[in-house]
Amino acid sequence: MPAKDYAPIDENWLENAGSLWTTPWVDKPSERVIVDPIILSHAASLFRKNAGYFYQNPDEAIRMVCHACELYDVTPVGHYLYADYWGQDYGAEIKIQTNSPPGITKRPIKTAEDVDNFEVLDSDELAKGPTLTTHYKALDTCKEEFPNMFAPITQLGGTMEVATNWAAIEDVFMWMITEPEVVDKLCQKAGDHMVSACKATAERYGANVMITGSVIASGDLMDTEQIKRFSFQPVSRAVRKVLNAGAGPGIYYHLCGNHTDDFQMWKNAPMSPFTIVQIGYDGQNIFPTSKLVEHFGDRCTCFGTVDTKLVDRGTPAQVYEQAKEQVIAGKDSPRGFILGTACECPTNAPPVNVHALVKAAKDHGKYEKF
């Protein structure tokens, strides 16, 4: 759908949402907590399109996301990204899928020797590569058509996520046991790649917000020592390099999955004045916002979560109940709070469930600290 087919964005809504969105970052008083349900291809479902369509049309994807933000009254930021970034730039093949985000089919690294020979691209090369060409098409559309909803986001994932987009996850996990030095090398290169990608975005837009963290590297798949060695340490090194290169200031630590045993180490991850931490699960349960605020509240902005499974398959009442509990625990966190989902909003989540999440923030997320 071309831009002219959308109804205009309500400017009053945008101004109000913008002010709610500003509060967690700069402590400027507003009425209540804002919700970020991490809308990506879910927006397409609102337009009766599928995920395949969403990802093949980055400019339209942004329009759909921005309009979904207005519909739900959530964070006014246009997003476009998926997990399998950064393979294609190094020779991987990517498959567009109808009902899920694009997936890498052929990975460039097959052997330990390939890891040695693998050369990380610099920011200029990456800016011209397939991942950022598509990504920037989305961001440029946002900047042009929805300038007040623009954020210069770079989707990185952590070192393990980049590494497993370059080499098969089975190989990486096998090397972790048989030849861990190979994985060290791979994660170091993934870290260097993260720095190049952030520089590319900062050079293009004058600032950069990096989405990093630890998704595969969670307690579901790795032990704490492995997470420390292959995720926390190389990710921290990379983030520090990005900040030392002036390619910040935004840092979003997205710790997806179970982080019961490793979340404490992330308290000392490098932070900038615009840092947010989101932790998905504590064992099998949603990570309690009370615990998040206890450990991170005096450090950075906290992102409290509602179980994505609940948003996808629960009832509105269940979503509302969990959102209520989380938002009450988080709303007055000293360095700001946002309520959202543990991971991206499922493509076909019932809109009433997203609405229930927002409703909980409206009913129970009024600030008391201002």
Closest-CA residue to 304 (of 270, 274, 332, 280): 280
16: contact with another protein by CB under 8 A: no
Which letter does DSSP use for residue 79 in this model? -
Our CB check for another protein shows the closer of 43 and 77 to be 77
What part of residues 298-317 is at the interface with another protein (CB under 8 A)? 298-300
The one segment of 135-143, 158-166, 234-242, 338-346 that binds another protein by CB under 8 A? 234-242
Task: Give least dist CB 30 to another protein, A.
Answer: 11
In this chain, which of 7, 26, 48, 117 binds another protein, going by CB under 8 A? 26
Q: How many CA atoms lie within 13 A of 5 on its CB side?
A: 6
Q: Residue 135: which residues within 8 A CB-CB, separation 6 or more?
A: 58, 80, 81, 85, 154, 155
* Helices 233-244 and 159-166: angle between axes, nearest 10 degrees: 100
Which segments within 269-336 are labelled E, that is strand? 274-282, 285-286, 301-306
Q: Is 181 in the site for another protein (CB under 8 A)?
A: no
Determine which residue in the list 71, 168, 169, 243 makes contact with another protein, applying CB under 8 A.
243
Query: Contact at 8 Å (CB) between 304 and 339?
Result: yes
Considering only the stretches 2-10, 41-49, 238-246, 338-346, report the one whose residues sit in contact with another protein under the rule CB under 8 A: 238-246
337 is a site residue for another protein (CB under 8 A): no
Site size for another protein (CB under 8 A): 33
Q: Which of residues 80-139 bind another protein (CB under 8 A)?
A: none
Nearest one of 67, 70, 66 to 79, comparing CA atoms: 66
Tell me whether strands 274-282 and 301-306 are parallel, antiparallel or unpaired: parallel
- How far is residue 266's CA from residue 119's CA, in Å, rounded to a whole number? 29
Among 99, 178, 244, 315, binds another protein (CB under 8 A): 244
Q: Is 228 in the site for another protein (CB under 8 A)?
A: yes
Asked if 232 interacts with another protein (CB under 8 A), we say yes
The CA distance from 31 to 365, in Å, is 8
**Residue of 103, 108, 130, 249 interacting with another protein (CB under 8 A):** 249
Residue linked to tokens 């693998």 = 118
Identity of the residue numbered 241: K
272 in contact with another protein (CB under 8 A)? yes
Q: Name the residues that contact another protein, by CB under 8 A.
A: 22, 25-28, 206-207, 228, 232-233, 236-237, 240, 243-249, 265, 267-268, 270-275, 298-300, 335
